[in-house]
Amino acid sequence: MAQALSRNIVVVGGGPAGVFAAIEAKRTDPTAEVLLLSDEACEPYEKPPLSKAVLTGKALPEHALIAGPGGAAKHDVVLERTALVTTIDRASRTVVTVGGRHYPYDTLVLATGSLVRELPQLPLGMPRVHYLRTEADARALASALRGCRRLVVVGGGLIGLEAAASASELGIATTVLEVAPRILARVCDQETGALIAACHRRHGVDIRTGTVIADVEPAGDSIILSTASGETFAADVIVVGTGVKPNDALAASAGLATDNGIIVDEHCRTVDAAIFAAGDAVRFPAPHGLVRLENWRHALDQGAVAGRNAAGASEPYRTVPSFWSEQYDLYIQGVGWPPQRPAQHVRRPLPGNSVLAFDVAEGMLAYAMGINAQRELAAARRLIERRIKVEAAALADPARPLASLLKASV
């Protein structure tokens, strides 16, 4: 009897979505040939330490491999490094890399991630200006920080603030320029944002909100930034943390549907039944329409589902999103979908620098945000996942452990 040919599964992108797609594809169909193509020169590494321990010199990117010790090979996944995919030929089911190599696929997973949003006044490649996305970026910035006395961070989002906290730990005079009226407006409520800003100020970081950069002037060993209100800031090094955009050009050039991300269905499938996509690069169906998320756990979880489906499974991707950030001794977390409609906002008073805040909609917990409240956030995730009815008064009551609300509903 003729032996069935094994399935060729190709994954493009060596971030968490791509690595977990490849690992789970191989686990689901051990007979499949699984190939992971990454344009980077190294074994895939975790990005969260890049703005934290890597900048302060406590860790190197290779200390935290996404696939664990032994890398992709340990999972029987073939990793091709420096393999930038330039073309997807959907008719022949082949991808082509920049060196002209052709790789046939039966199913393909695109996990091309995000690209930094470039500020025209501070373009990529400008001397003394750093963007932070890859391990190469982190190594370059860590090295620049060694001789830096004055750092300006443009952007008061999570990455910018983590870089500021790391620089302040290194004793560098650090200023954060944020265009919005407050930092972390996309992530937390005003009160929590103010608490985080106060923590930065206690560590000597100068946070300026409502600040528009009007002019950028290289001046010998530094750069002078002028603001619309007439202030000037001299910097030896500038970090730009003004967000990311989906890296969906490869998919678009292959004729796949894209619109601020690669459009996929709940099975992570694109408009081409043989092509799946996952992670930062995609927009996928959520309870309130198509969304794009930019966080580690989502990329990893969605990549795993895309990989299993590329190997023959038919699993829907449903998620309760979450993120975390570490700044000084603050472990900041969010879980759930920030409510689209007016919701009841509740805070639970907690001692010290701990914070717990909730948004309740239609009698259920929609979103929880906390600082140094890991146990409560884990319980909040379960309350949201199980769509458990909760009273705002119980959430606000520090005497009621959140886990007891789970039990109360069983």
Ligand X SMILES: Cc1cc2nc3c(=O)[nH]c(=O)nc-3n(C[C@H](O)[C@H](O)[C@H](O)COP(=O)(O)OP(=O)(O)OC[C@H]3O[C@@H](n4cnc5c(N)ncnc54)[C@H](O)[C@@H]3O)c2cc1C
Q: Which spans of this chain sit near ligand X (rule: CB under 6 A)?
A: 12-18, 37-40, 47-48, 50-51, 83-85, 111-114, 132-133, 159, 247, 250, 279-281, 294-297, 299, 323-325
Q: How far is the CB of 232 from ligand X (least distance, A)?
A: 28
Q: How far is the CB of 401 from ligand X (least distance, A)?
A: 25
Shorter beta-carbon distance to ligand X: residue 222 or 302: 302
Q: How far is the CB of 95 from ligand X (least distance, A)?
A: 9
| Angle, CA of 334, 68 and 146, to the nearest 5° | 70
Helix/strand/coil for 368? strand
Shorter beta-carbon distance to ligand X: residue 174 or 295: 295
Q: How far is the CB of 351 from ligand X (least distance, A)?
A: 25
Per DSSP, helices labelled H in 209-313 are: 249-253, 296-310
Cα 244 to chain centroid distance, Å, stands at 9
Shorter beta-carbon distance to ligand X: residue 47 or 348: 47
Shorter beta-carbon distance to ligand X: residue 18 or 193: 18
Shorter beta-carbon distance to ligand X: residue 11 or 405: 11
Question: How many Å from the N-terminal Cα to the C-terminal Cα in the chain?
Answer: 54
Helix then strand count (H, E) for the chain reads 9, 26
HSE (side-chain half, CA atoms, 13 Å) at 365: 35
Residue 151 contacts by C-beta under 8 Å, 6 or more apart in sequence? 145, 164, 167, 172, 173, 174, 175, 235, 236, 237, 238, 239
Q: How far is the CB of 349 from ligand X (least distance, A)?
A: 27
Q: How far is the CB of 164 from ligand X (least distance, A)?
A: 13
Cβ(346)–Cβ(297) below 8 Å: no
CA-to-CA dists, residue 323 to 52, 293, 378, angstroms: 15, 10, 12
Cβ(368)–Cβ(384) below 8 Å: yes
Strands of 161-273 (E only): list them: 173-177, 206-208, 213-219, 222-227, 232-235, 237-240, 244-246, 262-263
Amino acid at 408: A
Amino acid at 132: L
Q: How far is the CB of 57 from ligand X (least distance, A)?
A: 15
Residue 342 contacts by C-beta under 8 Å, 6 or more apart in sequence? none
Return contacts of 375-381, CB within 8 angstroms, 24+ apart. 375/402, 375/403, 376/348, 376/401, 376/402, 377/322, 377/333, 377/335, 379/403, 379/405, 379/406, 380/335, 380/336, 381/320, 381/322, 381/335, 381/336
Shorter beta-carbon distance to ligand X: residue 276 or 296: 296
Q: How far is the CB of 20 from ligand X (least distance, A)?
A: 8
Shorter beta-carbon distance to ligand X: residue 44 or 193: 44
Shorter beta-carbon distance to ligand X: residue 80 or 189: 80
Shorter beta-carbon distance to ligand X: residue 133 or 139: 133
Residue 2 contacts by C-beta under 8 Å, 6 or more apart in sequence? none
Shorter beta-carbon distance to ligand X: residue 131 or 233: 131
Q: How far is the CB of 217 from ligand X (least distance, A)?
A: 28
Q: How far is the CB of 359 from ligand X (least distance, A)?
A: 19
